Amino acid sequence: MTISVVIRTLDEERYLDELLTMCRKQALDEEVEIVLVDSGSTDSTLDIAAAHGAVITHIAKADFSFGRSLNVGCDAATGDVLVFVSGHCVPVDPDWLAHLVAPIRAGVAQYAYGRQQGRDRTKFSEQRLFEKYFPATSAVPQQGFFCNNANAAVSRAAWATHRFDEELTGLEDMALARRIVEDGGAVAYVAEAPVFHVHDESWAQVRRRYEREALALREIMPEVHLSPRDVLRFLLAGVTGDARAALRRGVLRREAGGIIAFRAAQYWGSFVGGQEHRRTARQLKDVYYYPTS
């Protein structure tokens, strides 16, 4: 099987050189194709990609959606396995790619996603979310269809059958994973395939990210949405849990303000994006919004 790494970019110069360098250092016998899908970078993103020999394709900002940009990249790629990694992620080690694609090569799953870890600029509460959603133990295959394209791989056959939903405002990964599972396939979580994921965002950008994802989740799982009471409940739980963790790690004084700001942005964005008058399953809300496992 041949491998193509598809990367969406918009002004990703900060980490892109490190990312592409690590992609070229992977411990694999075959050549790894790198495909960049750029939506209008004005920094040195394209120069960095060209220096690393990447295939560069473009999507206009007016045409951009997360799913559409990935479909454009997959159409341009030639690999039998399509790997997705965020432009602000960096593989932790040279074995990342081999571990990530292993379940697909073995036929155990059609879609796989790897571990995500914080690094120098990662907000404390986001690190806590990484610990919740991307634990140290693999599940090959896993139950359900949770998935995250910041560090993932899919077989070309599965992608070609279902393709990414181009209308969603986010969570195109979960939507595709759900269709694969409903079609009899499987998703795998591979803890041995970690990347550093750095969201260097303002609080407004954090809020918009969660608002966008809540809009998409409403389409994927319409029974899951937040009420004002839920927002307060999860906000208090999130801040309290993060504060206790920060106290244990000796960083509460430094992180207190950021904890409050992050959780407020997360749950307010989720509430605004998910507004809809439908009954909600309490258990599903806890799974998708509660700040700890």
Reported as a single tens digit per residue, the pLDDT across 157-215 is 999 999 999 988 889 999 999 999 999 999 999 999 999 999 888 999 999 899 888 88
Average confidence (pLDDT) over 78-101: 97
Average confidence (pLDDT) over 108-125: 95
Pairing verdict, β 89-91 and 187-197:
antiparallel
Q: Grade residue 16 by pLDDT with cuts at 50, 70 and 90.
A: very high
Question: Has residue 35 got a pLDDT over 90?
Answer: yes
Instruction: Give the whole-angstrom CA distance, residue 58 versus residue 76.
Output: 10
For residue 124, what pLDDT is reported?
A: 96
Element (H, E) at 252: helix 252-273
Q: Check: CB of residue 289 under 8 Å from CB of residue 234.
A: yes
Instruction: Give the whole-angstrom CA distance, residue 7 versus residue 138.
Output: 24
For residue 275, what pLDDT is reported?
A: 73
Lowest mean pLDDT among 140-154, 211-225, 269-283: 269-283
What's the angle, vertex CA 239, arms to CA 236 and CA 244, rounded to 5? 120
Mean of per-residue pLDDT scores for the chain: 91
Cross-strand partners of 139: 189
Instruction: Give the whole-angstrom CA distance, residue 131 versus residue 122.
Output: 12
In a 3-state reduction of DSSP, which class is residue 16? helix
Average confidence (pLDDT) over 41-52: 96
239-288 confidence digits (pLDDT tens): 999 999 999 999 999 999 999 999 999 999 999 887 753 444 444 445 44
Name the residue with tokens 């360098």.
21
pLDDT > 70: percent of the chain? 94
Backbone φ, ψ for residue 249 (5° rounding): -90, 0
Instruction: Give the whole-angstrom CA distance, residue 268 versus residue 264.
Output: 6
Q: Check: CB of residue 239 under 8 Å from CB of residue 260.
A: yes
**Dihedral of CA 224/191/86/104: which sign?**
negative
In a 3-state reduction of DSSP, which class is residue 6? strand
For residue 293, what pLDDT is reported?
A: 43
Instruction: Go through the chain and tell me how many residues it has.
Output: 293
Lowest mean pLDDT among 49-53, 188-192, 227-231: 227-231
Decide: residue 184, CB within 10 A, 0-12 exposed, 13-18 middle, 19+ buried.
Answer: exposed
Collect all residues with Cβ–Cβ distance below 8 Å to 90 and sequence separation of at least 6: 15, 18, 19, 22, 119, 195, 196, 198
Whole-prediction pTM value? 0.89
- In the DSSP assignment, the letter for residue 19 is H
Lowest mean pLDDT among 2-16, 212-226, 248-262: 212-226
For residue 279, what pLDDT is reported?
A: 40
Q: Work out the number of other CB atoms within 10 angstroms of the CB of residue 76.
A: 17
pLDDT > 90: percent of the chain? 79
Name the residue with tokens 């439908």.
278
